Structure 1
Amino acid sequence: MIAPGETIGILGGGQLGRMIAMAAAQLGYRCHIYAPETDSVAADVSAAFTCAEWDDAEAMAAFAADCAVVTYEFENVPVGPLSALGTVVAHPHPRALEIAQDRLSEKRFVSDLGGTPAPFAPVDSKLDLMAAVSGIGAPGILKTRRDGYDGKGQWRIGSADDASALDLPDTALIYEGFVTFFAEFSVILCRGTDGDIRFFDSARNVHENGILAFSGVPAPANLLEQVPAARALAAKVAEALDYVGVLTLEFFATENGPVFNEMAPRVHNSGHWTIEGSVTSQFENHVRAICGLPLGSTGLAARAVEMRNLIGDEAHDWATILSDPANHLHLYGKAAARPGRKMGHVTRLTLD
C-alpha cells in the first residue's frame, strides 16, 4: 500500500491529471506532474512539476525518484521512455498503453477476447484503402492508427471515388466500416491491485463534431439491456492486462448488441459526472486503486445525473449556471479558448 503523504507521479499535464491530483489531495497524497508543455493545468494544483520532453531520460529518472507510484492522465504517453522509471511501479502496466495507442492492435486484442468491433482493415497504401472499401463497403471512416482523438486524424469515406481521390497521409492507417447504432455508451470500471472490480453506471453519451458533448445516467432501458455484455468484455480486458486503475471502453448500442469502439486506459470524460454523481468518483477510485487501497462504492448519489462539456470559446454566463443549486461547475484553468477545446464541464444532479 502507498500511504497517504507519499507522492503520486502523473504523466501528462491536462485536465484529467488536474482532477486526479485534486482527488489525491483529498486522500492526503502529493502529486508530481511530468509533461512537456509549460502551461499545465494539472501542475497548477499539484505539489511539483517537471517540464521536460518524454525522451529526457535524466528528467524522467529524477521524476521517478520523487514518486511512490506513477500513473497516466492520457493514453498517448510514449511507452519507450518509461524504462527510465526504473523500479517505480506504473499503474496501469505500460502494455495497456501500447495496445490502446494503436487502433489496429486494440481491435485485434478485443476481437481475440470475444468482443465485436466495427469491421476494420489496416491501410498502408492507396491499394490497401481501395481493397478495404471494396471488402468492407462504404460509407466508412479512415483513421490514423495512432494519436487521433476528439475527431482528429479521421476522414469520412462515402464511396470508392472518395477513397480514390484522397491523398493519404504518410502514416499507418485503419479503415473502419460504419456502424448503425441507436446510442453510444461507455463502460467505466476500476480494478484494484487485489483484482476487485467495480463498475460505474454506464452513461448515454452524445458526441458533436467528434467530441463528447453530453453524458447522462441512468441510461435509457434499451441501452441498459446491452450493458451486461459490454461489462463482461471490459472485465476480460482488465483481467487479461492485469489492469490496475480506471479503464474505459466505449461502445455503440446496436440492434445486434454492443459494438466495441475504443478503449482508454485512464479516467475518462464520460465519467466526469461521477465527481458529484457517484458515492466515489472515478478519480478517487483511480487513486485508491493505484495506491493499493480498498475501492469505494460506485453507486449513484442522485436519482439522475447529467454532464455537459463546455467546449471552445463560446461565452457562458457563469453566474446563471451557479445560481442553480443543482449545477456543479468545473473550469479547468485553461488560459486560451479555441474551437473544439474542452474548457470545463457542468454536472447537474436530480435529487428528488
Structure 2
Amino acid sequence: MAHILPPAMLGILGGGQLGRMFAMAARSMGYRVTVLDPDVQSPAGSVADRHIRAAYDDEGALEDLASGCAAVTTEFENVPADSLRFLESRTRVSPSSACVAIAQDRILEKRYIAGAGLAVAPFLAVDAPQDLAGDLAPLLPGILKTARFGYDGKGQVRVATPEDVHGAFEALGCRPCVLEKRLDLETEISVIVARTSAELVRTFPVAENRHEAGILDVSIVPARVTPDIAARACEMACALAEAMDYIGVLAVEFFVLEEGGLVINEIAPRPHNSGHHTLDACAVSQFGQQVRTLCGLPPADTRLLSPVVMVNLLGDIWRDDEPAWDLVLSEPAAVLHLYGKASARAGRKMGHFNVLAETVDAALEKAEALKRALRR
C-alpha cells in the first residue's frame, strides 16, 4: 500500500468528538482534514480545514469528499455502509465498508466472531416472534439487545423469564434483536488494535473498564488482570482483525469471566472511548494510529509511559453552569479534554480527563476523588 504523506487532505465521515480528535492528530502531523457532517456546530468541523455540511448519504457531498481527499475514514459505525461503498469506488477508505457493516449489526457481529473461532456469550438471533418459540431457558437470565443502532446501553433490556423476553421484544418494536445470556463477570476489558497490514499490527495495553447505566465511566490502564488474560485478549483481538482483513483502528471489548474465561462482547470499527488515555499516557494516541493506518504507514510504538485512569465527563455534571474545571486544572497529574459541544445533556459525552501516577492504584484514587468533587 502506497504511503499518503503530508500535506495530503484526509477525510472523515462524522463530526463528533472522535472526529475532532482525529482531525487534531492529523493536523499535528501536517495533514489537512475535511469533515462531512450535517451539524453546523460539529465539534470536528470547528477544527478541520474544511467542513462539508451535508447528510451522510448525500451523493453530491460524498463525491465532493472523495474528489478532494487522498483517503477517508469514519468516526462511528452507524454511517451508511452504502456511503462507504460509494467512497471506496473513488478513493482509499479504511476501515472498509464490509468491516463496518459487520459492526453495525449485532447478529452479523456475533456470527462473524464465532465463525472466526473466537468465544462469544451464548446467543440467539431474533428476527421475528417465531424465533422465540423454542426453549429459552439456556439463555436466561439474559439481555435482549437490538441488532442495530444500540450503544451506551441503549436498546437493551434485561430479561429473566421467557415472558420477559416476549414482552421486551414487543417493547423494542419487534425489530431484529440478539438474546444474549448474562454471564458471571470478573471484570470488563478492551483492546485497541492498529492494523495497516498482516505484518504491521500493534495493540495498546489492555484497559479495564467500569460502566454506569451502560455508559463507560472509568478506564484503568494497565488493566488489573493476570498477564495471561491480557496476552490472550491481545491475541484474540489481533486474530479477529486478521479474520476481517481489517485496516485501521479496531476496538474489541471483552468479558472476563469469574473462572478466567474470556469472551468477546462487541467491537467498534474506530477509536474507542476506552482508548482516550492514549492521548496522554502512551507513545502514540489511538488517533495518531488512525491517521497512520489510513495513510498506509506502520503503526507507531504503543508503549504505556505511565499508569493512567480515564474518567468520562457526561452532560449530567453541567447543571446550571460550567463545572468547576479548576478542580481538574489545578491538579498537576490530571489532563482535561473537552469536546467543544455546544450544549450539554444527561448522558452526553462532553469530555474526559486522564490522571497519571506512579502506580495504577494511585491514579485511580486521585481520579475517583476528582470525579466525586466534580459531581457534587
TM-score (structure 2 length as normaliser): 0.89
* 1:143–1:153 Cα contact (<8 Å) kept: yes
1:201 alignment counterpart: 205
Instruction: Return 119-128 or 137-146, whichever deviates more.
Output: 119-128
Matched, 1:276 2:275: no
2:336 alignment counterpart: 329
Task: Report the secondary structure of 2:250's partner residue.
Answer: strand
> Cα deviation per residue 1:144-180 (whole Å; 9 max; x = unaligned)?
1011100111111122232243424142111111011
1:241 alignment counterpart: 244
Structure-2 separation of matches of 1:132 and 1:330: 49
Structure-2 separation of matches of 1:29 and 1:283: 13
1:93 alignment counterpart: 96
Q: How many residues align?
A: 349
Letter of the 2:203 counterpart: F
Structure-2 separation of matches of 1:332 and 1:259: 32
2:187 alignment counterpart: 183
Letter of the 2:277 counterpart: W
1:313 alignment counterpart: 316
> Cα deviation per residue 1:290-334 (whole Å; 9 max; x = unaligned)?
1122321100111x1000000123143101110011000000011
Letter of the 1:41 counterpart: P
* 1:184–1:205 Cα contact (<8 Å) kept: yes
2:27 alignment counterpart: 25
One of 73, 76, 79 as aligned partner of 1:74: 76
* 2:198–2:242 Cα contact (<8 Å) kept: no
Instruction: Return 137-146 or 78-87, whichever deviates more.
Output: 78-87
2:348 alignment counterpart: 341
Structure-2 separation of matches of 1:305 and 1:96: 31
Matched, 1:49 2:43: no
One of 282, 297, 302 as aligned partner of 2:301: 297
Letter of the 2:337 counterpart: H
1:265 positional shift: 0.8
1:225 positional shift: 2.7
* 1:205–1:270 Cα contact (<8 Å) kept: yes
* 2:249–2:269 Cα contact (<8 Å) kept: yes
Structure-1 separation of matches of 2:134 and 2:350: 41
1:48 positional shift: 0.6
Structure-1 separation of matches of 2:28 and 2:135: 50
Query: Over aligned residues, Cα RMSD in angstroms?
Result: 1.6
Structure-2 separation of matches of 1:221 and 1:260: 16
Structure-2 separation of matches of 1:269 and 1:221: 20
Which runs of 5 or more structure 1 residues have no equivalent in the other structure? Answer: none
* 1:206–1:214 Cα contact (<8 Å) kept: yes
Structure-2 separation of matches of 1:261 and 1:132: 23
2:362 alignment counterpart: none
1:251 alignment counterpart: 254
1:227 positional shift: 2.0
Letter of the 2:352 counterpart: H
Letter of the 2:131 counterpart: D
Instruction: Return 339-348 or 30-39, whichever deviates more.
Output: 30-39
1:149 alignment counterpart: 151
Instruction: Return 17-26 or 31-40, whichever deviates more.
Output: 31-40
Letter of the 1:339 counterpart: A
* 1:130–1:164 Cα contact (<8 Å) kept: no
Structure-2 separation of matches of 1:194 and 1:131: 42
* 1:124–1:171 Cα contact (<8 Å) kept: yes
Instruction: Return 139-148 or 29-38, whichever deviates more.
Output: 29-38
* 1:114–1:233 Cα contact (<8 Å) kept: no
> Cα deviation per residue 1:112-149 (whole Å; 9 max; x = unaligned)?
11111111111123342353633x33211111101110
Letter of the 1:27 counterpart: M
* Shift in alpha-carbon separation, 1:219–1:82, aligned structure 2, 3 A: closer
Spell out structure 1 runs of 4+ moving beyond 6 A: none
Structure-1 separation of matches of 2:314 and 2:165: 31
> Cα deviation per residue 1:242-292 (whole Å; 9 max; x = unaligned)?
222111100000114111100111111000000001011111111111112
Structure-2 separation of matches of 1:285 and 1:173: 33
Structure-1 separation of matches of 2:76 and 2:57: 17
Matches within 5 A, 1:123-142: 123-129=126-132, 131=134, 133-134=136-137, 136-142=138-144
Matched, 1:111 2:114: yes
1:213 positional shift: 0.3
Structure-2 separation of matches of 1:29 and 1:14: 19
Letter of the 1:227 counterpart: A
Task: Report the secondary structure of 1:330's partner residue.
Answer: strand
Which runs of 5 or more structure 2 residues have no equivalent in the other structure? Answer: 360-376
